[in-house]
Amino acid sequence: MTQHFIVIGNPIAHSKSPEIHTLFSEQAGIDISYQRQYCPDDAASFMAVIEAFFQGGGVGANVTVPFKQVAYNCCLARGGLSEHAKVAGAANTLSLNQTLLDSGTPIAEAIYGDNTDGQGLVNHITSLDWPLTGARVALIGAGGAARGVVLPLIQAGISSLTIANRTVSKAVNLVTGLSESSETIDKHSIETCATSELTGQFDIIINATSIGLSGDTLPLNDDLDCHYAYDMMYGRTLPFLQHFVTRGAQTSDGYGMLIGQAALSFERWTGYNIDVATATDALINR
């Protein structure tokens, strides 16, 4: 029987998720339909679309911009949230909470939210053989994308974390909020600073800002250096990575993170483990 999935967002036409999940389903040998779902940009519309999808027999929904926080609020009030979604304050992977369904909870009240973005990043970095255990990490950005990766990075065993942002107060607020939502995160162990004041040597520097969308360039110090630089954006020339290429660092864009978070969603929905390296090669060659 065909299992139905969607990715919901606005805009949505550009989404690569259907292509990625269709490839996963071929690898797993199961029959799925995975569609792009446009939704007007308001919470009521999002709720209506998601409820109709699950009422109609849908198995799983990915959530993208601008609905990840709306999805978090929806699941908080209904079927619950994973720890990663709770700490991220955002959900990108929705399914039905089977325990609640079994106890007679209506479908609309059983929608459960997870967040696979941060673990997708960690899995990609690990697959690149960049050492995370004991790594000194700098994370640039203090929006939703940055928030979603902090807990998985700490769980991966990094030794220190510095969060830099154009607006320092947002980085400080992010750290306070994270430490309140997770016992794993100690706010005193995370440093914050302005992006323009980030200096020195790190093992890994990750760009989690949305600057790549605007074509602007981050003001990076000449003496900012690292062994590995990662930009969570993909699909365009990334000046952030160029800064570190010229200093001899290994670099990566975020395409592998996109596939990594998708693989985790697919695995949670279907129970099939994805060979991410093989899937990535196949997608790049298409």
Q: How far apart are CA 42 and CA 132, in angstroms?
A: 38
Question: Counting contacts by CB under 6 A, is residue 210 touching ligand ATR?
Answer: yes
Question: Counting contacts by CB under 6 A, is residue 197 touching ligand ATR?
Answer: no
Nearer to ligand ATR, 113 or 144 (CB): 144
Helix (H, G, I), strand (E, B) or coil at 65: coil
Q: How far apart are CA 160 and CA 248, in angstroms?
A: 22
Nearer to ligand ATR, 35 or 210 (CB): 210
Number of shown-chain residues binding ligand ATR (CB under 6 A): 16
Sole window of 25-33, 49-57, 126-134, 207-215 interacting with ligand ATR (rule: CB under 6 A)? 207-215
Query: If you search the block for the tokens 């036409």, which residue do you land on?
Result: 13
Question: Counting contacts by CB under 6 A, is residue 254 touching ligand ATR?
Answer: no
Give Cβ neighbours of residue 255 (< 8 Å, ≥ 6 apart).
234, 235, 280
Q: Minimum Å distance from CB 145 to ligand ATR?
A: 3
Side chain identity at residue 171, one-letter code: A
Nearest to 122 by CA among 264, 280, 244: 264
Site for ligand ATR in 218-237 (CB under 6 A): 218
> Which of 103, 133, 214, 237 is the binder for ligand ATR (CB under 6 A)?
214
Q: Minimum Å distance from CB 211 to ligand ATR?
A: 4
Sole window of 102-110, 119-127, 162-170, 277-285 interacting with ligand ATR (rule: CB under 6 A)? 162-170
Nearer to ligand ATR, 94 or 146 (CB): 146
Q: Where are the beta strands (DSSP E) in 123-214?
A: 136-140, 160-165, 190-194, 200-207
Sole window of 12-20, 100-108, 165-173, 258-266 interacting with ligand ATR (rule: CB under 6 A)? 165-173
Cα 120 to Cα 92, 256, 258, 260: the distances in Å are: 12, 8, 7, 4
Q: Which residues are catalytic?
A: 68
Residues 224 and 193 sit within 8 Å (Cβ to Cβ): no
> Which of 62, 165, 252, 280 is the binder for ligand ATR (CB under 6 A)?
165
Could you tell me if residue 134 is left (phi over 0), alpha (psi between -120 and 50 degrees) or otherwise beta? left
> Which of 216, 223, 275, 281 is the binder for ligand ATR (CB under 6 A)?
216
Positions touching ligand ATR (CB under 6 A) are 141-146, 165-167, 170, 209-211, 214, 216, 218
